Amino acid sequence: MAQEWACEPHTRAKHALLRAYVDAWVPIIAHAAIRIGRREEIVLIDAFAGPGGYTTGDAGSPLILLNAVLSRSELRAAWSAQRFRVLLIEQDPTFAAALLARVAALGDLPPNVTVDVRHGRFEAEIDLELQRRRGGASPSTFAFIDPFGYSRSPMDLTRSLRIGQRVDTLTFVPFENVTRFLGRVGQEAAMDNLFGSPEWRDAILMSGAQRTEFLIALYRRQLTGPGQGRHSLVFGVTTRDGHDYRLFFSTDHPVGVERMKDAMWKVDPVNGAQFVASPMEGEPVLFSVEPDLGALRRVVVARFAGRSVAVDDLEKFVTLETAFRKQHLRSALKPLSEAELTVARPTGKTRGWPVGSVLTFR
């Protein structure tokens, strides 16, 4: 019989990222629906849900998704016309039963929240979900895809979910195993499925960081190909014993990128890119290093030297084309002298960089 397991530090980091994102996503989507006067169905999917909890007492990802909805006081008031559906898919019968029990223990749910626990395989359940959507409006959806191993979450399935747009996905991939087993005979079908492309074969002759970076870029390209999300991000998670996992995110919206970057910088306040578990049991993680805003300054100056740029466009550049958040921009450019950077503000404004300001880099 399948046994529940302990929640490790790297899993807590994964959950912290998930929680920070869905906690921001739910109100953004609900408010957007209200703004345009739409009665929306808003869907959260946990495609590989697990039992919903750990032997260490930590909540599993399905409870994190549920809590992002159930913790909102607006549910019974401002959001009462919106419908929230949380779809939790788990293949293992023991885990599916444990999950059902944990959901039941939450008691009565508000009338506009449905929790659908499915004991079944992601592949089949997603097909049913897509059939349900066929012909109707495509609901705003967040999907968490967190299998054990890399052969279980084919790119095709992630992509099929994105049909109709308005779908954000976060996928956990044991990347070290992917790079390690890449050239091994017998892995071809699994790799073709994972990447949804035969191009991974180009990495067989590469090694080390070059191989990893090539494959990460390929995975991100596949997530954002034609008809897919417009933007992707990647976050690294390293376990206590040095194993390397990646979380890949895709969205259509720059706001989705902003919120996921907020989540990433929350988990990694130094680089916004990676969580590394301490190899020592119980050792606190100390963040004594500040983000390297000099790196952001150099990127911005190199890109805009000799040019003028509106502050909104500059923020968009930082959000979509660098690892930093737009909130880093002002501190990063502060050391520049007037000989290096001048600011033209809209009439009547004398301070800061209000909307409409134009920055000129010498």
Ligand X SMILES: C[S@@+](CC[C@H](N)C(=O)[O-])C[C@H]1O[C@@H](n2cnc3c(N)ncnc32)[C@H](O)[C@@H]1O
- Least Å from the CB of residue 15 to ligand X: 6
**Distance between CA atoms of 345 and 311, rounded to whole angstroms?**
10
**Distance between CA atoms of 189 and 204, rounded to whole angstroms?**
15
H or E stretch covering 216: helix 208-223
Residues in contact with 302: Cβ distance below 8 Å, sequence separation at least 6, in sequence order: none
> Closest CB to ligand X among 266 and 303?
266
At 234, is the secondary structure helix, strand, or coil?
strand
> Closest CB to ligand X among 92 and 188?
92
Half-sphere exposure (Cβ direction) of 200: Cα atoms closer than 13 Å: 27
Cα 249–chain centre separation: 4
- Least Å from the CB of residue 99 to ligand X: 9
> Closest CB to ligand X among 60 and 256?
60
Structure tokens at 241: 């014993």
Q: Give me the DSSP letters along 170-211.
A: EEEE-HHHHHHHTTSTT-HHHHHHHHTSGGGGGGTT--HHHH
- Least Å from the CB of residue 145 to ligand X: 9
> Closest CB to ligand X among 130 and 343?
130
- Least Å from the CB of residue 247 to ligand X: 11
Q: Which of 160, 215, 204, 182 has its CA nearest to residue 47?
A: 160
- Least Å from the CB of residue 222 to ligand X: 20
**Distance between CA atoms of 71 and 222, rounded to whole angstroms?**
35
Sign of CA dihedral 273, 223, 243, 179: negative
Residue with tokens 């990347």: 175
- Least Å from the CB of residue 8 to ligand X: 11
> Closest CB to ligand X among 21 and 95?
95
**Distance between CA atoms of 272 and 258, rounded to whole angstroms?**
12
Structure tokens at 128: 């049913």
Residues that bind ligand X (CB under 6 A): 48-50, 60-61, 89-92, 95, 121-123, 146-148, 152
> Closest CB to ligand X among 93 and 111?
93
> Closest CB to ligand X among 75 and 143?
143
- Least Å from the CB of residue 90 to ligand X: 5
